[in-house]
Amino acid sequence: MLYPTPIAKLIESYSKLPGIGIKTATRLAFYTIGMEEDVVNEFAKNLLAAKRDLAYCQICGNLAEEETCAICQDQTRDVSTILVVEDSRDVSAMENIQEYHGLYHVLHGLISPMNGVGPDDINLKSLLTRLMENEVTEVIIATNATADGEATSMYISRVLKPAGIKVTRLARGLAVGSDIEYADEVTLLRAIENRTEL
């Protein structure tokens, strides 16, 4: 069905979001045009602010409002341990269990030979720099239990082992093929408590 251009463009914009098909995009577009104008303005303002006011932490790569994120600024964190995750959503998931007190490193992707993504295409060089500059004794790899997550963890392990740094992987409390951000807190807690050395 043909819609007027403004709503057709809104539907197209919504359909670009992950997990949003054309039917859901259409429903969201019609819901949006039915909203009060001040609510729509606030929504648009929040979208722009999130895009404009957030950046990546210069140390760990997590989302931040300043040059460094709140976790990297926290002097009470255990600086001898770095937990490596795929993206910032995974940091939030781990922080929700309130049992891990070390630092993080966000890769912004995974090594994926099938998709042409190599070690230089993710935030890996800065991790190696951090390890050379600081006294880190353990790196915990918390990538998702997928083929790309496994490939990334094995690559990091091979690179770090010669440096004498202990490399561990989250225990298999996480289901294969699942994402860390969707795991419940008990599963995450067991996974971090039962991590194993690679």
Residue 62 in any domain: the answer is: no
CB-CB contact of 96 with 185 (8 Å): yes
State the pLDDT confidence band at 184, using cuts at 50, 70 and 90: confident
Residue 101 in any domain: the answer is: yes
pLDDT at 164: 86
Residue 60 in any domain: the answer is: no
Residues 84 and 123 in one domain: yes
Does the pLDDT of residue 52 top 70, yes or no? yes
Instruction: List, for residues 135-176, the tens digit of each pLDDT value.
Output: 899 999 999 888 899 899 999 999 998 888 999 988 776 677
Residue 178 in any domain: the answer is: yes
Residues 42 and 72 in one domain: no
- 150-159 contacts, C-beta under 8 A, 24 or more apart: 151/110, 151/111, 151/112, 151/113, 152/107, 152/110, 152/111, 152/122, 153/198, 154/198, 155/111, 155/119, 156/84, 156/124, 156/127, 157/198, 159/128
For the CA atoms of 139, 145, 151, 155, the dihedral, rounded to the nearest 10 degrees, stands at 0
Instruction: List, for residues 10-37, the tens digit of each pLDDT value.
Output: 999 999 999 999 999 999 999 999 999 9
How far apart (Å, rounded) are the C-alpha atoms in residues 28 and 31? 5
Q: Which domain holds residue 158?
A: 67-197
Residues 47 and 72 in one domain: no
- What is the arithmetic mean of pLDDT over 32-53? 95
CB-CB contact of 90 with 142 (8 Å): yes
- What is the arithmetic mean of pLDDT over 121-138? 91
pLDDT at 146: 85
What domain count does the chain have? 2
Residue 32 in any domain: the answer is: yes
Residue 58 in any domain: the answer is: no
Does the pLDDT of residue 54 top 90, yes or no? yes
